[in-house]
Amino acid sequence: MKLTKIQWEGKRTAAVIEDGEVRPIPNYTLMALIERSEIEQIPIAQLAARLASAHPIDVPPILPLKPREVWATGCTYKASSSFRDAEHGAREGFYAHVHNASRPEIFFKGTTRVCVGPGEPIGIRPDSDFTAPEPELAVVLGSKGSIVGYTLANDVSAWDIERENPLYLPQSKVYDKCCSIGPVIVTTDELTDPYSLEMTCAITRGGETVFEGATSTANLNRTVEELIEYLLRANSVPRGSVLLTGTGIIVPESAALKPGDVCTIRVPEIGVLSNLVAVVGD
Ligand code: DO4
Ligand code: MG
C-alpha cells in the first residue's frame, strides 16, 4: 500500500493512494498511524485501509512524515566511492575502504527541520559552487529498527565542500532544505524486494535536460537490514525516523545544480520525487 500525507481541510493528514486515487485518513498523521499500528500490533496497511475515507479527493502528496531523525549511509554503491576517491586524487582511498569494509559509513543528515517534500525547493548553500543531488532509496523505520516501508530521498550535498576536506562532510551534508523525501511510503507488503528497483534522476534547466542518470538498487552492496543493524548499535533511533541507503547516481560538475533547476527522481514502484532548486540562507 502507498501511504502519504496531504494538506486537507486545513490540516496535514495521512492518506492512502490506490489506483491513482487519494483517500484521506481523517484525524491521523502518518506518525500517529505508525504509532497505533505498533501499539495495537496491526500491520499499518491493514490499519490504513480500515481508517481511510471512502471518498477520493484531488490533492497532491506533501512530505509524507516529519521524520524524528534522518540518517544516511554512504559509499554503498561503487559509483559513489570511486567518484569520491577520484575527487581526492586517490585511485583506491578511504572511500573504497568504507565501501568494502564490514562497517558501513553512517552519518546524521538532520531532523524534520532540514527536510522538504515533493514540489518544495531543495537548497544550494551560498558558499557552494558544486551542489549535486544524491538520489537514494530510503527506509522509514518503526521502533527498534523495524521497516515500515520505503520511499525516495534526495541527499542533496555540497560536493565541493566535501572535496576541500572530508572533515567538512557535515557542512556539505547538513543545511536548510538539504533533504527531500517522498512522494509516498510504500509498505513492505507491497514492496517486497527493495533490491531490484530501477532508479533514474534528471535535472532540467529552462525546460532542457542537462543531466540524466540511472542505477538499480541491485548495485547496493549491503542489505537494508545490515545498514539498520549498524545504525542501531548503541543508538536508540526513535520510530518515525528515516534512513537513506546511499547514491548510485553521480552528477558531473558540469551539471552542478543551479537555482531554478528542477531535479526529478523516479522509481516506478514508488513514484516521482521532483523539486525545484533554490539558494538558501542568503
Ligand atoms: O562519503 C560521503 C557521503 C557518501 C554518500 O552520501 C553516498 O554515497 O550517498
Ligand atoms: Mg548520499
Distance between Cα 44 and ligand 2 center (Å): 28
Strand partners, 38: none
pLDDT tens-place string over residues 121-147: 999 999 999 999 999 999 999 999 999
pTM: 0.97
Compute the half-sphere exposure of residue 209: CA atoms within 13 Å on the CB side of its CA.
7
User: Please, what is the average pLDDT of the chain?
Assistant: 96
If pLDDT is split at 50, 70 and 90, which confidence band does 85 have?
A: confident
Assess whether the C-beta atom of 105 lies below 6 angstroms from ligand 1: yes
Nearest CA to ligand 1 atom 9: 246
pLDDT tens-place string over residues 103-119: 999 999 999 999 999 99
**Residue 162 corresponds to which cell in the numbers above?**
566535501
- Mutation choice for ligand 1 from 71, 80, 85, CB with most ligand atoms inside 8 A: 80
| pLDDT on residue 89 | 72
SS3 annotation, the chain? CEEEEEEECCEEEEEEEECCEEEECCCCCHHHHHHHHHHCCCCHHHHHHHHCCCCCECCCCECCCCCCCEEEEECCCHHHHHHHHHHCCCCCCHHHHHHHCCCCEEEEEECHHHEECCCCCEEECCCCCCEECCEEEEEEECHHHCEEEEEEEEECEEHHHHHHCHHHHHHHHCCCCCEEEEEEEEECCCCCCCCCCEEEEEEEECCEEEEEEEEEHHHCCCCHHHHHHHHCCCCCCCCCEEEECCCCCCCCHHHCCCCCCEEEEEECCCEEEEEEEEECCC
Assess whether the C-beta atom of 246 lies below 6 angstroms from ligand 1: yes
If pLDDT is split at 50, 70 and 90, which confidence band does 90 have?
A: low
Average the pLDDT over 212-237 and give the result: 98
As a whole-number percent, the residues of the chain with pLDDT over 90 amount to 95
If pLDDT is split at 50, 70 and 90, which confidence band does 226 have?
A: very high
Average the pLDDT over 220-235 and give the result: 98
Q: Please, what's the b/e burial string for 70-87 (b: 16 or more CB within 10 A of its CB; e: otherwise)?
A: bbbbbbbbebbbbbbbeb
Q: Which residue has the higher pLDDT, 5 or 84?
A: 5
pLDDT exceeds cutoff 70 at 177: yes
- Mutation choice for ligand 1 from 71, 75, 94, 137, CB with most ligand atoms inside 8 A: 75
Average the pLDDT over 168-183 and give the result: 98
Compute the half-sphere exposure of residue 213: CA atoms within 13 Å on the CB side of its CA.
20
Distance in angstroms (rounded) separating the CA atoms of residues 12 and 122: 20
Distance in angstroms (rounded) separating the CA atoms of residues 67 and 162: 25
pLDDT exceeds cutoff 90 at 162: yes
Among 86-90, 198-202, 240-244, the range scoring the smallest mean pLDDT is 86-90
pLDDT exceeds cutoff 80 at 56: yes
Closest ligand 1 atom to the C-alpha of 72? 6
Closest ligand 1 atom to the C-alpha of 81? 8
**Any idea which ligand is nearest the CA of 153?**
2
pLDDT exceeds cutoff 70 at 91: no
| pLDDT on residue 157 | 98
| pLDDT on residue 92 | 66
pLDDT tens-place string over residues 184-215: 999 999 999 999 999 999 999 999 999 999 99
